[in-house]
Amino acid sequence: MSEYIEHLRTVLIERVHTDAVVDIQLGGLQPALYIRSEHLVSVCAFLRDDPDWYMDFLSDIAAVDYLPEPYFELVYQLASIPNEKQITLKVRMEHDRSSANMPELPSVSSVWHTAEWHEREAFDLMGIFFSGHPDLRRILMPDDWEGFPLRKDYQDPELYHGIPVKDEQ
């Protein structure tokens, strides 16, 4: 598997951009390529359109909070159904955790329409903003909910419209 991911790194550097790939993660259950955020959409479009890779299925986008470290990671799980191959892409986003701004990535919904739902979930629960998303709004929480419940520093409110949120048992 490591040869596969090394080969993909070389291909992306040659065919997308010389600094598209930041790093390779070979440890863990599945190797991954760390992609520079400004090249994310180009990398994804290449992986979808190139017949040698043909990543026709975005199965998941997961947002990971690394508190106390000042960054988040987005993990993209891609698959080529006809080629029976999978690829994991990761993007690291440094962030000061201030409420004045959100960590931001370009949307890949123009590459895979299913990204619209995955990105809305990451926006709603982790506070990741996806520029270029066609309908970025909450998907699970009420529109007027404050905060992002899956962030490690999130604090449940005492009340929501007069209804107790915390279970005091």
The answer as to CATH 2.40.110.10 being correct for domain 2-154 is no
pLDDT the model gives residue 168:
64
pLDDT category at 101 given cuts 50, 70, 90 is: confident
155 Cα distance to chain centroid: 23
What letter would DSSP give residue 38? Answer: G
Average pLDDT, the chain: 94
Tens of pLDDT, residue by residue over 129-150, are: 999 999 999 999 999 999 999 9
Q: Which residues contact 119 (CB under 8 A, 6 or more apart)?
A: 61, 107, 108, 109, 128, 130, 133, 136
Question: Cis omega before residue 142 (within 30°)?
Answer: no
Crossing angle of helices 2-15 and 40-49, in 10° steps, is 110
What average pLDDT does range 8-14 have in this prediction? 97
Assign 3-class secondary structure to 98-126.
Answer: CCCCCCEEECCCCCCCCHHHHHHHHHHHH
